[in-house]
Structure 1
């Protein structure tokens, strides 16, 4: 056994204690979200465990233990004098307010799916066969929509689309748009709400997601402007689209180049392919940071197995970077590729023939 440095070992153990605490707390976040505990505290008023239990119809002993764990994580504030708990405005934005740009509870449903589906991914490591998106637990589909929606709410209409040359004006005048890999339709619904003169088509190969998206669009009052249809990125119907959008899904595809070729064939003259992908630098060293840690982890458990389960199985991964994404677009026959804008979590690319 090699000799270890006691100080480095202590530092590593300290980080591991923090990580174990984060993992344990993650399950409690999902629990509190599902039980409505955060939303019951969203007004910021201090409550005792008994009051919160009464408000939610839950059992006090369980509620007190959950509150104590959340207070230890500093996700809920505790006042010793009144033995009460409360959510600060910032905590409420993160855990209780789904319309908030900082809403994070959905992210922990994605993490939940990683734990639940770990045996399936383990087998994929051994066989190399991959694991299809549709083979994951339902919490992944729900969590993905809830995780990405706040970013789309904040950026899609206000900054991402305006960063594309001439696209906003087309949408305002009335354009034909395809949202490929739409999932539960959060991005499609936002665009349909913002651009009532345009017509939208939402495609995903996952049938249950299409059904959920259709229901969400009807609830949002835009069901008459969106056609939801089950189709893959390589066979969705052509309709001379002014805009084809792919939100955080190109890297999941087994044959992104083939998907790009199909996009090129379906675009109207002067049309735009908008690619939104997780933020990443082109080299591994620059991605070794907290955001990269999340994306590499999700890529290991979800994105790369999904790609490797399909034909070609290019396996771009969630940290593909601009250079590799540019190559995909050029190999698909496009000639113009530029980074239109970015956030700490996403890169937005404008691609044209």
Structure 2
């Protein structure tokens, strides 16, 4: 049995981690990490000057980061100002948007919760919700930035190992649908991997669609990649060879209806791929760290977003494989199977026929 001291010690560690998350969010959004990584070591005055921030706040943050072991510091009490620096490993995790170890966006996601907390409390009392739109740019950009390295570096190789999907994508003139495309990085990665395909992204969040459109243009793919603000119910029937839904089914208030619309949008013989969280097959109180962080996302972001729509099924982030399989069957797919794609971040891939 745990003692009160054991519980207090555990919670103290949690509180310290929470402080680190918020401090990482500050350093990410204010450009402090990036300046230290790109421009080199700095005093608080120098860092504030580089980033257009206040030196007193910069000093407090720098000292906290050094005490927490995220930054290195040189100088002593006799020096006018201490000099702070970031090593390569910390810089990769906190600033390298191409690295699979890039985690700063996750702090940004939890930072987005702060302004909405009164709304969350009300939702928990009434059964309402907090929408993706209300969570704002921090959440929207966080998800796009956190997922992008995996799409850029791993998605093409992962799909190349699935002939049923790869062969359809590689067919000249293939039409591809990306449901819930978000910032569009999944659509862009598919377009780069399959240069003879044409891709359409749809999303119900208008700001995400704007971001996806700009990202496709910036990637030089606007001639083959389009994104539009629309409900899946508006999809043209029999238009696509392959459909995808990347990390979004668990957010949908009406997933069966969306999957059914995607099924109708497929040509005869077309297939759909769903990528969602690789949580355990069943709830257990001794869940691992993946379960714990997914419940965190669910409590504060995904479940409230889903519940913000009327008559939501309220799936939540911790969507078990059996739940997705049931949604797929109810949507009219003949079979739902787990694809043999492993070591792909937090995610599991399903094939719906």
TM-score (norm 1): 0.90
The question of 1:64 aligning with 2:65 is answered no
Residue aligned with 2:337, SS: strand
- Is residue 339–residue 347 contact of structure 1 (8 Å, CA) maintained in 2? yes
Residue segments in structure 2 that go unaligned for 5+ positions in a row: none
Residue aligned with 2:242, SS: strand
- Name the structure 2 match of 1:10: 5
Q: Deviations over 1:46-90 (max 9, x none)?
A: 444344344434443332221111122222223457943322221
Q: Deviations over 1:228-252 (max 9, x none)?
A: 1111233333352111110110011
Q: 1:10 to 1:298 in 2, by over 3 A?
A: same
- Is residue 176–residue 197 contact of structure 2 (8 Å, CA) maintained in 1? yes
Q: 1:152 to 1:65 in 2, by over 3 A?
A: same
Residue segments in structure 1 that go unaligned for 5+ positions in a row: none
5 Å-filtered alignment, 1:1-353, equals 8-43=3-38, 45-79=40-74, 83-159=82-158, 161-174=159-172, 175-238=174-237, 240-285=239-284, 288-340=287-339, 341-342=341-342, 343-352=344-353
Q: 1:273 Cα deviation (Å)?
A: 0.6
Q: 1:309 Cα deviation (Å)?
A: 3.0
Q: 1:140 to 1:246 in 2, by over 3 A?
A: same
- Is residue 77–residue 88 contact of structure 1 (8 Å, CA) maintained in 2? yes
Q: 1:202 to 1:50 in 2, by over 3 A?
A: same
Q: 1:173 Cα deviation (Å)?
A: 3.1
- Is residue 42–residue 97 contact of structure 1 (8 Å, CA) maintained in 2? no
Q: Deviations over 1:196-223 (max 9, x none)?
A: 2110001001112111211111111111
- Is residue 44–residue 86 contact of structure 1 (8 Å, CA) maintained in 2? no
TM-score (norm 2): 0.90
Q: Distance in 2 between matches of 1:28 and 1:187?
A: 29
Q: 1:303 Cα deviation (Å)?
A: 1.6
Residue aligned with 1:284, SS: coil
Give the alignment's Cα RMSD to 1 decimal.
2.2
- Is residue 116–residue 130 contact of structure 2 (8 Å, CA) maintained in 1? no
Q: 1:10 Cα deviation (Å)?
A: 1.4
Q: 1:234 to 1:299 in 2, by over 3 A?
A: farther
